[in-house]
Amino acid sequence: MQFPKTFTDRMHRMLGEEEFSTFLEALQQAPPVSIRINKAKAAPLPGLQPVPWSQTGFYLPARPFFTLDPAIHAGAYYVQEASSMFVEQALRQAINLEEPLQVLDLCGAPGGKSTLLASLLSEESLLVSNEVIRSRASILAENVAKWGSGNVLVTSNDPRDFGRLSDFFDVVVVDAPCSGEGMFRKDPQAIGEWSEENVNLCAQRQQRILMDVWEALRPGGVLIYSTCTWNEQENEANIAWLAEQEDAENIKLQLQSEWGVVPSQLKGVEGYRFYPHRVQGEGFFMAVMRKAGREETISHGKNRKKKCKLTIAGKKEQAQVQGWLQQPEQYTFLQYGEVISALPESLFEAADEVYQNLHVIYAGTELAEIKGKKLKPLQGLALSQHLHKGAFEVADLPLEQALRYLRKEDISLGTNGNDWLLLQYKGLPLGWAKGIGNRLNNYYPKEWRIRMELPAALPEESLVIS
């Protein structure tokens, strides 16, 4: 694998002769494979090596064909690069996760950090997960729905739009678009796209993004900034610049020596570097900052606007869907167009303010679509962590049938009926089918379907969950 000379010269200067040689050797090796378990849905196979800085991250001994594991489609785990799971340490060390928080994941797609945040935040917290590119925002919404936490709003907005939500967020995560040096061994295409000019452009864009979103962070709030690159311009220099521009305070994290994470400093601001010869992971940088100003209890959206944009569902529709969730009394049931969704009642005012100011494409748990006088259950409900299975007839599928269902093929269970059926694999809900006499109509979302042909020999069991 050949790397740009300006890149290798710089890394040589940064690391020194001996360490640079080890670094280059690591870049020629296969990247490790890591996943993060959704503890609300599954448990990892015993014996998997844990990611040391994450309570739910694990390394796999080999890369399985994830597409052929129904558990990943059910949101039982997420394939995430191990280094990026270090965001968990920033949250645990710098933030009281027991409190109800309003959190923004500004550059959320495809969903690794958003699903991590959703796992760590309390049920009384609101996560806004944003992606400016609409096609990527749809992928983000899919992964958020599969994770099924129910307290997330997915938006598709430019970073500057968040200035409308002044002092709104307690935590802002900016996993900034970058030159991608840390992904060289995982994504060889990144090598061909790299240039010093692109590094400079990325650094300038990152500064604009930080300024655009800074207004939305409340005084005393925490910013978590990360990239998957190693150059100083996009990392330490940008954070030192932010500290000077906004009088922001740097938050230092406690590291374990066995982690292999390298602290770095510029102008008194500390960040954390991940090198592939020191950690089991890809290149990564992260720093944590606190916004200047007195920490105050924010009203979290209450009474900021008299007129609500969100619409409460009708009593008839509410009565039909209430039994579909566990503890339905904790939810507000909303209607947007023909879709009925559920949002924790405590988040209504804050969510409404987000709707007032941003373009929301997915919210809470989508329960049903109104079809004339009847309701059609939706995929978000099937994958919700709060689904009440007892409200539906359930059928467990063997592996091949589960995969054919996920390919949106017609399947038969040899039963008769004319009702909705929740299909699952090893107890993990996959989606809906509708009985029509002795056949089933497959209601798996067309845009989510498995497109590959199934091989003649299928794996015997999941290599990830027990």
The verdict on 79 and 165 lying in the same domain is yes
Are 129 and 275 in the same domain?
yes
| Position 464 in a domain | no
221 and 342 in a single domain? The answer is no
Name the catalytic one among 178, 202, 228, 308: 228
Q: Is 228 tagged catalytic? A: yes
**CATH code where residue 349 lies:** 3.10.450.720
Tell whether 285 and 419 lie within a shared domain: no
Distance CA 341, CA 375 (A): 12
Report pLDDT digits (tens) over 39-50.
999 999 999 999
Q: What is the pLDDT along the chain (466 residues), one digit of tens a residue?
A: 899 999 999 999 999 999 999 999 999 999 999 999 999 999 999 999 999 999 999 999 999 999 999 999 999 999 999 999 999 999 999 999 999 999 999 999 999 999 999 999 999 999 999 999 999 999 999 999 999 999 999 999 999 999 999 999 999 999 999 999 999 999 989 999 999 999 999 999 999 999 999 999 999 999 999 999 999 999 999 999 999 999 899 999 999 999 999 999 999 999 999 999 999 999 999 999 999 987 665 555 444 445 789 999 999 999 999 999 999 999 999 999 999 999 999 999 999 999 999 999 999 999 999 998 899 999 999 999 999 999 999 999 999 999 999 999 989 887 777 789 999 999 999 999 998 877 889 999 999 999 999 999 998 777 788 7
Quick check: is 466 in a domain?
A: no
In a domain, 89, yes or no: yes
Residues 437 and 387 in one domain: no
Instruction: Verify that 31 and 161 share a domain, yes or no.
Output: yes
Last residue of a domain, one of 261, 290, 319: 290
Whether residues 174 and 151 share a domain: the answer is yes
| CA–CA distance, 444 with 51 (Å, rounded to integer) | 33
Tell whether 344 is covered by a domain: yes
- Domain C-terminal end among 267, 290, 313: 290
The boundaries of the domain holding residue 268 are 5-290
Q: Are residues 150 and 92 in the same domain?
A: yes
Are 431 and 312 members of one domain? no
Indicate whether 465 belongs to any domain.
no
Model pTM?
0.96
Domain count, the chain: 3
C-alpha 101/C-alpha 300 separation (Å) is 9
Full DSSP string of 242-258: HHHHH-PEEEPPP--GG
Match 């040589």 to its residue by tokens.
Answer: 12
Q: Residue 123 is part of a domain; what is its CATH number?
A: 3.40.50.150
Asked if 273 and 313 sit in the same domain, the reply is: no
Q: Are residues 246 and 148 in the same domain?
A: yes
Do 45 and 464 contact (CB within 8 A), yes or no?
A: yes
Residue 296 belongs to a domain: no
Q: Are residues 311 and 283 in the same domain?
A: no
Is the residue at 452 inside a domain?
A: yes
Examine the fold and report which residue of 340, 372, 391 is the final residue of a domain before the chain moves on: 391
